[in-house]
Structure 1
Amino acid sequence: MREKKILIVDDQYGIRILLFEVLGKEGYTTFQAANGKKALEIVEKESPDLVILDMKIPGMDGIEILKHIKKINKDIKVIMMTAYGELDMIKEATQLGASTHFTKPFDIDELRLAVSKQLVS
């Protein structure tokens, strides 16, 4: 069985590194991107199994990135992260195919569990 690939998309360096390290220790191959352009390049090149995507990213927002990801490969699972209670955006993200979402600050163990659940199904 090949290693599952996860892409972490967040403009906050600290969150990217935290998730990169935690998920790397879980045995996943992890990639990271600070913006939409880089994220989509990685999606096209690496075809990750799961993308952890921040809703608020300068330039291209999470919804826009999500639409592009699903256009490239509708089977890629996406977990959205948001620092704000933007329920309308979360609702839209879910309609566009996001599997679940987390509000920052999130519980790292809950996120790890959600990731492993997404990658089993």
Structure 2
Amino acid sequence: MEKKKVLIVDDQNGIRILLMEVFNSEGYATFQAANGKLALDIVRSESPDLVLLDMKIPGMDGLEILKHLKEINPAIKVIMMTAYGELDMIKEATKLGALMHFTKPFDIDEMRIAVNMHLNNKSIDQCS
């Protein structure tokens, strides 16, 4: 079976590296992008199954990137990452089709469980 693909889009290098390590160790193929243009190129070339998308990215912001992602692939799964109480943006992201959001600093285990759940269509149960 082919590995599921996860794309991490965040302008903070440390977060991308952390999340790539976590999801590589979960057995996913991971890709990373520091900006929207690169993220969309990767979506076109690699068709990731799930995107972890930061809301605040210089240049093209998370909502704009989300709109483009859904144009390229309406079925793509997107989880937003947000830094502050960006409630309006979160509501907008949900309208645009984001599955859920995590507020930074997020609990890496909760993130891992959520990604596994969405990629394997399982209900949330603690898989150790």
TM range (shorter): over 0.9
CA–CA separation in structure 2 for the residues paired with 1:117 and 1:87: 24
Map 1:7-86 → 2, pairs under 5 A: 7-86=7-86
| Structure 2 letter corresponding to 1:9 | V
CA–CA separation in structure 1 for the residues paired with 2:40 and 2:85: 25
Give the equivalent residue in structure 1 for 2:92.
92
1:71: how far off? 0.1
CA–CA separation in structure 2 for the residues paired with 1:86 and 1:19: 22
1:120: how far off? 1.6
Q: TM-score normalised to the size of structure 2? A: 0.94
Moved >3 Å (runs of 4+): none
| Structure 2 letter corresponding to 1:95 | K
| Structure 2 letter corresponding to 1:83 | A
Report sequence identity in percent.
Answer: 76
CA–CA separation in structure 1 for the residues paired with 2:54 and 2:62: 6
In structure 1, runs of 5+ residues without a counterpart are none
1:2: how far off? 1.3
Give the equivalent residue in structure 2 for 1:104.
104
CA–CA separation in structure 1 for the residues paired with 2:91 and 2:2: 33
Q: TM-score normalised to the size of structure 1? A: 0.99
Aligned residues between the structures: 121
Helix, strand or coil at the partner of 1:32: strand
| Structure 2 letter corresponding to 1:8 | I
| Structure 1 letter corresponding to 2:96 | L
Q: Give me the CA root mean square deviation.
A: 0.5
Helix, strand or coil at the partner of 2:80: strand
In structure 2, runs of 5+ residues without a counterpart are 122-128
Cα-to-partner distance string for 1:51-80 (whole Å, 9 max, x where unaligned): 000000000000000000000001110000
Helix, strand or coil at the partner of 1:112: helix
1:120 aligns with 2:125: no
Q: Which has the larger radius of gyration?
A: 2
